[in-house]
Amino acid sequence: MKTYLFQTEALGGYMIQGNPHKRMLKFETTIDETDESPFPKRTVTPLNEIRSSDLEFDTATETLQIVNDEVVVVPRPAAPVIVPESVTRIQMRDVLVRQGLMVLIEGAIEAMPEATDEEKLDKDLMKEWWNNAPVIRRHNPRVLVMATALAFNDAVVDQLFIDAAQVV
């Protein structure tokens, strides 16, 4: 949505207006704070008497900032990327297939040692989980084991989850 910044010279400030064509229908009211009567004097200024817009900007991608005592339009900072806590198995597999990583994952599972009495996570349990878990959670120990086996750092794993969350 385009937004306009109007400088109100008579009132000594700025006003943001979404639709410049509606300015004639609106008013800006100021109250005389030096007037101590029960009904202080009010000044009503029709916005169509305020001069044309100083700045036009897109509120989705731009914002206003004061630089050297002047109001300027600057790009809006990028929204922080949020890593999802979980994605569906189908979403994750879709991303891994598209990025050519599915073969690496399956190879890493096959390379895992067979079960021993001391190990809690073995090849058979990992295969069962990988093939049947409805949801893959970012901080699941199995995900951490796979990331370590493939030498994926946290940034790579986070990006896989971000990409998987985009799959519809």
Q: How far apart are CA 4 and CA 52, in angstroms?
A: 9
17-28 pLDDT per residue, tens: 665 555 444 555
| Structure confidence at residue 153 (pLDDT) | 96
- pLDDT exceeds 70 at position 4: no
| Structure confidence at residue 2 (pLDDT) | 65
118-129 pLDDT per residue, tens: 655 678 889 999
- Number of folded domains that form the chain: 2
Average pLDDT over residues 102-116: 86
Q: To the nearest 10°, the Cα dihedral for 86, 88, 89, 95?
A: -90
Note the pTM of the prediction, 2 decimals. Answer: 0.56
In this structure, the answer to whether residues 7 and 44 fall within a common structural domain is: yes
Single-letter amino acid code for the residue at 114: E
Domain with 155, as residue range(s), is 86-165
Which among 75, 97, 131 is the end of a domain? 75
- Among candidate residues 110, 104, 93, 80, the one with its CA nearest the CA of residue 160: 93
